[in-house]
Structure 1
Amino acid sequence: MANTKYLVNASAVAPLKLIALPGCEEMAKTINKYLIQFRQEISAQNTAKKDTYGYATDNYIIDVNLPRFGSGEGKGVINESVRGVDLFILVDVCNYSVTYSEFGNINHMSPDDHFQNLKRVIAAANGKAHRISVMMPFLYESRQHKRTGRESLDCALALQELVDYGVTNILTFDAHDPRVMNSIPLHGFDNFFPTYQFLKALLKTESDIQISNDHLMIISPDEGAMSRAIYFSNVLGVDMGMFYKRRDYSRIVNGKNPIVAHEFLGDSVEGKDCIVIDDMISSGGSMLDVATQLKSRGARNVYVCCTFGLFTDGLAKFDEYYEKGMIKKVITTNLIYQTPELLSRPWYSTAKMGKYMASIIDTLNHDVSINKVRDNTLKINKLLKQHGR
């Protein structure tokens, strides 16, 4: 039984329900499957919960529609009662595969469209839910997390807008800069990391990795990823290295100052496997440059672990670098949309997050400390023992 023993004698705050916005349907089905499993296990140990209304059912997903008018305008429709429920809304703002028609033109949904859908569904709930939590794995506009001039601060404004709509908890994964939570200091904001799922996927696909200080090194591709790399290196007991970016601050390309070079700080990587860990792959240029530099310094294999794989410039460059031997494996989560082309690549593996997300939802519904599922250290140590590491 996984992560349920502390819920056996805890009471749910209200009947649990889940809404999946367009593009999240498959993940919602996975979460629903695990929630059903968890509740069956808990009810078997505490039979009184079997008779608790809405506790152990065969479906936690609520049916919703988000129709569009011919002009592109839309609305949210909830097709069953949400009165008194503990409502969790799942949204993937990066799923560009979802389309809609506007004046006969087919548009792909942008993050702005997904965020507007989220607000529509919250408005359709009409304040009748006992509590509303939003699970937004890729935090909307999180790359614009600080102001450096006369510019908007979109992520902070979006968080404030959600709490003004009545959202109690905002759940996200590997926020680009979690300090954006300071924009809503009196409301719930929880940031989770898929470190355990990365290691699980890596050990499953790469059986020859030796987890020791002589054979493995954790690499931070920039100063922003340092905290992730430090935790990973400490829990595995291996050294860490770091690259820092030299940028050209005299010009802006695609909304940012272009990177001139990556400089390395750390011990020798010669003959070692290197795990590069970061929050996201956008175009992938920086990650591939880091992999090239590691290989030029004598690294044995380069593995890339990123929470979000956006691949905004396509997969051709990754195919090329894989063929050249610059990268051995790329692992990202299924928290956001993955194209069929990506899933078919020999250099790619998925860190599956459905069970973890279900465990987070189940724990919050019982009003139990979220640290019960946030701490990955015990799970990682158990995993290492199972693999004889």
Structure 2
Amino acid sequence: MPSQIWSPSAVGPVASRHLRLFALNGTADLGRDISRLLAHPLSAHEERDFEDGEHKVRPLDPVADADIYVIHSLHGGPDQSANDKLCRLLFFIGALKDAGARRVTAIAPYLCYARKDRRTKANDPVTTRYVAVLFEAIGCDAVVTLEVHNEAAFENAFRCRAVALTAAPLLIDAIKTAVGNEPLCVVSPDLGGGKRADLLREALETVLGRPVGKAFAEKHRSAGVVSGDLFVGDVADATCIIVDDLISTGGTLVRAARAARAHGARRILACVAYGLFMEGAETALADPAIDRIIATDAVPPFRLPAGPVRDKLDIVPAAPLLAEAIRRLHEDKPLTDLLVF
């Protein structure tokens, strides 16, 4: 972990020579936020839907010899499926390359199919790799995403440049306002997330200037059934920060929160890059074991209705991190302190 942690307040305007920013309709709000932070306008484009379900996307501004960044988060809903969004992004990248773009970078904060990065059963698809092949085949020069499920699998899947940003600086900024001087402990809800939890814990220690403990919960998943009762770590009287890449139904986080409470945790914050909030999440996350939930807006919480879970949800803007990554990529500056590593 670098000795200095990048802060979301540090983003500044970009040197605009040959730069073009596009935001497809499914991610227009995030695109406008990034545009504002970089003090650079979004370029115009057209999206047309046809009666048979096909579509067309084309740039309306000149793109020849430009360095282009296309912003499109590839989560399903509320109006398009993940497959629809992926197809639109790929076709648009192809159109940009055909129109003479010098370099095209896909900014996909949520990258669909990134969780299916290995075979867990005989003849399973390794869908992360297939998606990577599609980006490469269409001529994409780089893909930037946020808090991938497995960074090694993500990097190995791509032959073009693949950038996995860490959400840690965004989450830490929110954590700082939520905690005082009480003992802190970062908890991984499973062994596989240990590296992610350590990254956040080390960054927290740097920012807060004091030790932060660590713990993990055991989790086994087979045929959709989750089991495991082991909990390791001293969390007595501590505020526990359970960190994961995403919330789906919330069951994993609730299991870890209950285990931490059983071992004496005083308060529980759940921190994730993405809140998908699939069916069942509204019920599961209402569990009083979790006090607050912190998530970025890389996936807006459109599935979560007003109620007790929404009331304890804090949404953190992802735009500052993504804008900073675009600025550094365009200016050929290092990304080291923004990366999952």
**What TM-score do the two structures reach when normalised by structure 1?**
0.77
Structural mapping, 1:231-270, within 5 Å: 231-235=199-203, 236=205, 237-247=211-221, 249=222, 252=223, 257-267=224-234, 269-270=235-236
Q: Does the CA-based 8 Å contact 1:3-1:373 persist in structure 2?
A: no
User: Who is 1:184 aligned against?
Assistant: 158
The number of residue pairs the alignment matches comes to 322
- Measured after TM superposition, the shift of residue 95 of structure 1 is 4.4
In structure 2, C-alpha distance between the alignment counterparts of 1:222 and 1:357, rounded to whole Å: 28
2 CA distance for matches of 1:155 and 1:16?
Answer: 29
User: For the Cα contact (< 8 Å) 2:278–2:303, is it kept in 1?
Assistant: no
Q: Are 2:243 and 2:272, in contact at CA under 8 Å, matched by a contact in 1?
A: yes
Is it true that 1:230 corresponds to 2:198 in the alignment? yes
Letter in structure 1 aligned against 2:195 = S
Cα deviations by residue, 1:136-186 (Å, 9 ceiling, x for unpaired): 11122011111232121111111121122111111011111122321224x
Q: Percent identity?
A: 22
> Residue 270 of structure 1: CA displacement?
1.8
> What's the offset of the Cα at 1:352?
1.5
Query: How far has the Cα of 1:133 moved from its partner?
Result: 0.2
User: Could you tell me whether the CA contact under 8 Å between 1:283 and 1:313 is conserved in 2?
Assistant: yes
Please tell me whether the aligned partners of residues 272 and 300 of structure 1 are also in contact (alpha carbons under 8 angstroms): yes
Aligned to 2:59: 78
Aligned to 1:114: 85
Specify the structure having the higher radius of gyration (Cα). 1
Q: Distance in 2 between matches of 1:232 and 1:358?
A: 21
3-state DSSP class of the match of 2:84? Answer: helix
- 1:210 is displaced (CA, Å) by 2.2
Q: Aligned partners of 1:373, 1:297: CA distance in 2, in Å? A: 34
Which contiguous aligned blocks of 4+ residues in structure 1 show a shift greater than 3 angstroms? 340-344, 372-376
Q: For residues 337 and 201 of structure 2, what CA distance do their matches in structure 1 show?
A: 22
Alignment-derived partner of residue 127 in structure 2: 154
2:148 is matched with 175
Backbone CA RMSD of aligned residues: 2.3
Give the 3 Å change call, closer, same or farther, for CA 200–363 of structure 1 in structure 2: same
* Residue type of the alignment partner of 1:234: E
Could you tell me which residue of structure 2 aligns to residue 53 of structure 1? none
Question: Residue 23 of structure 1 aligns to a residue in which SS?
Answer: helix
Q: How does 1:64-143 map to 2 (within 5 A)?
A: 64-98=45-79, 109-125=80-96, 126-143=98-115
Structure 2 residues without counterparts, runs of 5 or longer: 1-8, 206-210
From 315, 323, 326, the equivalent of 2:289 is: 326
Change (3 A) 1:319 1:2: closer
Cα distance in 2 for residues equivalent to 1:311 and 1:197: 20
Taking the aligned partners of 1:316 and 1:139, their CA distance within structure 2 comes to: 24
Contact 2:244/2:272 (8 A) holds in 1: yes
Look up the equivalent residue of 1:23 and give its one-letter code: G
Q: Could you tell me how far 1:260 is from its partner in structure 2?
A: 2.2
1:47 alignment counterpart = none
Partner of 1:30: 33
Distance 1:165 1:127, change over 3 A: farther
Q: Distance in 2 between matches of 1:162 and 1:319?
A: 36
User: Quick one: distance in 2 between partners of 1:164 and 1:370?
Assistant: 25
TM-aligned CA distance change 1:336 to 1:60, over 3 Å: same
How much has 1:209 moved relative to structure 2?
2.9
**Residue 219 of structure 1: SS of its match in structure 2?**
strand
**Does structure 2 conserve the Cα–Cα contact (< 8 Å) formed by 1:198 and 1:305?**
yes
Matched residue SS, 1:80: coil
The equivalent of 2:320 in structure 1 is 355
Alignment of 1:333-372 (within 5 A): 333-339=296-302, 341=304, 345-371=310-336
TM-score, length-normalised on structure 2? 0.87
1:309 aligns with 2:275: yes
